[in-house]
Amino acid sequence: MVETEAHVPGGPADRGSAPSLRSDAARNRASIVAAAAAVFAEQGIEAPLTDVARRAGVGIATLYRRFPDRDRLIDAVFAGKMGDYAGVADDALAMADPWTGFCWYVHTVCAMQSADHGFMNVLSTRFPSENAAALEAQRVRAFRGFNRLVALAKKTGRLRADFSDRDLPMLLMAHAGIVEATGNTVPELSARFVAYMIEAFSAGPDLRAALPNPPRASALQAAMARSGNCISDGAPTAGPD
């Protein structure tokens, strides 16, 4: 599709401002955002922008007219989903039992990570650039909501007193590694990891819930092979199914 809009440096096209775009340019912008969402979900936010342009059916020059840098495109794609992420904290805070809310929050956020590789990257990356201002605003909202949830869960005596807000990024980075390595082909591994982490966060053994079943050894071996973590001499890295 050929755009008819003239490009003026520093004008609305540079800012990706939809209201002033002509209809063909607006359609191009929407196509680019939709394509980026799909490509980032499959490949992560460092995916080549040429792949995004190809899927959107536009030239790379058109993509850069709409989004002069990667951060602006990431902002357009994920600001709404980051708002949903912030809403998870709001929903958890609304639960009668803060510890139940905390556990639900961890499970829900990890499920959001598993569903979208691009969002998985976004959750463990900061975007201080003003070109991703909407994304960062929602991140701050989510962070503050989570901190309130942590404070309430600690007051119940069920979340360990030394839990830190910095433990959440640690959890998300570790979980991202599991999802990346398995390609979501071994969902039991993610569920078991999250259950272990919640047990580690709890204040005592009486609060421990039963762990999900471990993955089949063959599925785990296949995932490890894809991620390059197999032992080269053929020795088994997991027991039999």
43 and 140 in a single domain? The answer is no
98 and 35 in a single domain? The answer is no
Strand partners, 159: 202
Taking the alpha carbons of 167, 125, 92, 144 in that order, is the dihedral positive or negative?
positive
- CATH number, domain with residue 63: 1.10.10
All residues at 6 or more sequence positions from 128 whose CB lies less than 8 Å from its CB, including other chains: 136
106 and 147 in a single domain? The answer is yes
Domain extent for 52: 12-68
64 and 82 in a single domain? The answer is no
**What phi and psi, each to the nearest 5 degrees, are found at residue 159?**
-100, 130
117 and 216 in a single domain? The answer is yes
47 and 25 in a single domain? The answer is yes
- The model's pTM is 0.70
Q: For every one of its 241 residues, what pLDDT tens digit does the chain have, with 9 covering 90 and above?
A: 434 343 444 444 444 454 555 788 888 999 999 999 999 988 888 999 999 999 999 999 999 999 999 999 999 998 888 889 899 999 999 999 999 999 999 999 999 888 887 887 787 677 777 878 888 888 889 889 999 999 999 999 999 999 988 888 888 888 888 888 886 678 888 889 999 999 999 987 666 666 577 677 777 667 666 655 443 333 334 545 5
Give the DSSP H/E element, type plus range, for residue 178.
Answer: helix 167-182
Residue 236 in domain: no
132 and 48 in a single domain? The answer is no
